[in-house]
Amino acid sequence: MKIKDNFMLRKVADCYVVVPIGPAVADFNGMINLNEAGAFLWQLLENETTEDAVVAAMLEHYDVDEAVAKNDVKKFVAQLTEADLLD
């Protein structure tokens, strides 16, 4: 899985914002606000990866229980899938 092309993550002050660029502007109206963990996950998903690899990276980067990491990644991926942001 991978984030679709034409979306850009930017840090604005202490917030992370995803905005559509190019052809995605016509199909996606608005922007996405992410916290630090969401931005971390987004960056992992900018390249082709698996859910297991994302969970492993989260466990390495954050002091979090594996069950919590799996649940958080699953929810994040579900939200991206619902918004049609994953290839």
pLDDT at 27: 84
pTM for the full model? 0.92
State the average pLDDT over residues 42-58.
97
Tell me how far apart the alpha carbons of residues 83 and 38 are, in angstroms, rounded to a whole number. Answer: 15
Taking the C-alpha atoms of residue 87 and residue 70, their distance in angstroms, rounded to an integer, is 20
Q: How many CB atoms lie within 10 A of CB 2?
A: 13
- What are the C-alpha distances in Å from 78 to residues 20, 68, 83? 19, 15, 9
Q: Which position has the higher pLDDT, 26 or 1?
A: 1
